[in-house]
A and B are shown apart, each in its own frame.
Chain A
Amino acid sequence: MTGATGDTQRGNAALLSVEDLKTYVFTPGGIVRAVDGVSFSIKPGEAMGLVGESGCGKSMTCHSIIGLLPTAARTIGGKIVFEGEDLTAKPESELAGYRGKKIAMILQDPLMSLNPVFTVGNQVAEVFRLDDSHASKQTVTQRVVDILTRVKISSAERRLRNYPFEFSGGMRQRVVAAMAMARSPRLLIADEPTTALDVTIQDQFLRLLKEMQAESGMALILVTHNLGIVAEVCDSVAIMYAGRIVESGSVMRVYNEPAHPYTRGLMEALPVLGVRKKRLYQIDGEPPDLCGLPSGCHFHPRCAFATGICRREYPPTKELPGGGYAACWLLDERGREQ
């Protein structure tokens, strides 16, 4: 699969392209194939949603890109090409130059990303001092106030001296966003940034995220399990299942004409405000254990359309007429013959 870009045409060269990425976790219980051949690409300014259920490898994909894997996990194959350079081939010392500078990340729980014993102003200032260690205290403070105002923290001068616990959940996440945006990254990875927030606060944060993206022209990878958020924020979407991308394309195409049975199932399984459903469509069974994946297509035990070939072989990724890609035997001649 070469692109989850769909029909967004903002720039021709991809900012990031991930090719056949494989990240495995080596545990005493066996090898967990957390990311098992993931490919996608993002253009500058594009917002891509990475959707999947827990344990499908979406966070592991992001941590592989930024090079912050847990010790038991290793990227054992594939390429991560960012601005023309393969990050998997770079030594740790060079990768550090990318982290935070060119690729920034926002995590789910802002309390985990902020240090409880330093003031918020101190922590944001640290980011600026990384680039300019000789800057005067006044300039740094001014920059901190500016960036906090940009993420809509009111009376920022006063709030600088507050500690993270004195901020509400929504404000903490905005502080984290400010730290991520401080060095104008080219790519922002947001891993479930609003899961801990209430809907009205989530709405505020997502609007801010879109605004910042439009202003700075950075690309965005938004990891979430909420298909509603993707529809609102993203241009393109990639659906992951058991370590692989099963379908990708523009949000319009994927939502209006989902090609993969899993994508279709997810859309139908969702209660939607204002759309009366007598009964929700239900994908039976549970996501597979990544230690002992089913043979053939990983989705076949839960798929209503599974045939013999689905049990034997993983389906090839096919380009779809409406744009985007999907990996399902239903889209292949060999599968249809069955």
Chain B
Amino acid sequence: MTNLLEARDLAKHYRIPTSGFIFRKYKPLHAVDGISLAIEEKACFGIVGETGSGKTTLSKLILQLEQPTSGSISFEGENLSDFDRQKTMWYRTRVSAVFQDAGSSLDPRMRVRDIVAEPLRTHGKDLSRADIKSQTEKALQRVGLGAQMLARFPHELSGGQKQRVAIARALILEPSLVILDEPVSALDVSIQAQILNLLADIREASGLTYLIISHDLAMLYHLSTQIAVMYMGQIVEMGDTEEVFREPLHPYTRALFAAIPRPIPGRVKECPALSGEISDPLNPPPGCRFYPRCVIRSDTCTSKAPALTPAGASHSVACFSAHDAPRC
């Protein structure tokens, strides 16, 4: 399969003022720090990470809402940094996004029909009113909403309906890549299942590629075909979802899997909780970023950062002593 989107050594550093008022001193915050990944066509690529792991910054870089400090992103083989204005407009019709909180990503003063049709008005050059209307209705139908929703305002919708409207807006231009940033984490369990099924159905019907960003491993296990685990701006483990879940290799991935509460009563947790918290991003530990919390750390880890290396047919891990971490 061909790669739809590729990132090479992608980095985004923010300058954070640390001290001084007139003579400000700045420190770099490595939000995304040397990420390389490839998203295949028709794949469902999941990115999992905790707060501050840089997963949202990564999605912003792909959406061109932020410019990378270094590295490059290519879409269908073309480098994003070479795009002129016209090409960028084209790119925006090919890649769309659904954000976590539909309550704040929908304009409260616009009606549903205007929200969903807005991409058509921006990008579709000479569509007639009737065309726009029929396409909007079709898009709403696709996400399971009836025509009675057209005239409503976001505040008249429930959480699940708002997220459906956001999905309809993301799909109306028939993009090839949809970025889903925590698509269901603001929703109730019964509504989550509805939206997850809807997303799976849409992908099956139209051969879309998804990039799902979430902290919910169970959801990614269910939906994704490939998965990358992020920690402090870096990918620590990546591979086929089945393989990574069957045989997680990085100590962080293993600890993360163990920490997920599962609805299976009587399950005994044998390994201790992962100690400590994510390090200060302004003063990241030298060498491996996970070192301060790692149970299998050695002296090598402080001096050298492990690179992502292949550890199986479609599986790679960034750890000097992968396999050695306790599993449970």
Contact = CB atoms under 8 A, between A and B. Distances in A.
B91 interface: no
B209 to A, nearest CB: 20
Nearest to A283: B190
A228 B160 contact: no
B262 A199 contact: no
A226 B261 contact: yes
Interface stretch (B69-77, B106-114, B193-201): B193-201
B192 A269 contact: yes
Interface residues of B, number: 41
A117 interface: no
A53 B188 contact: yes
Nearest to B268: A232
Interface stretch (A25-33, A59-67, A178-186, A249-257): A249-257
A118 interface: no
A161 interface: no
A273 B221 CA distance: 6
Given A198-B51, A271-B222, A272-B218, A203 B192 contact: no
Interface secondary structure of A, over-half rule: helix
B274 interface: yes
A170 B4 CA distance: 39
Contacts of B264: 231, 255, 272
Contact of B197 (A169, A265, A280): A280
Nearest to B274: A200
Given A228-B263, A255-B264, 9 more contacts: A199-B256, A204-B273, A227-B189, A231-B267, A251-B265, A252-B265, A269-B189, A269-B190, A280-B196
28 contacts: A53-B188, A170-B277, A198-B215, A199-B259, A200-B255, A200-B259, A200-B273, A201-B50, A202-B259, A204-B273, A204-B274, A227-B189, A230-B263, A231-B263, A231-B264, A232-B261, A269-B193, A271-B218, A272-B218, A272-B263, A272-B264, A273-B260, A280-B197, A282-B194, A283-B193, A286-B158, A286-B160, A286-B191
Interface of B: 50-51, 158, 160, 188-194, 196-197, 200, 215, 217-219, 221-223, 245, 255-267, 269, 273-275, 277-278
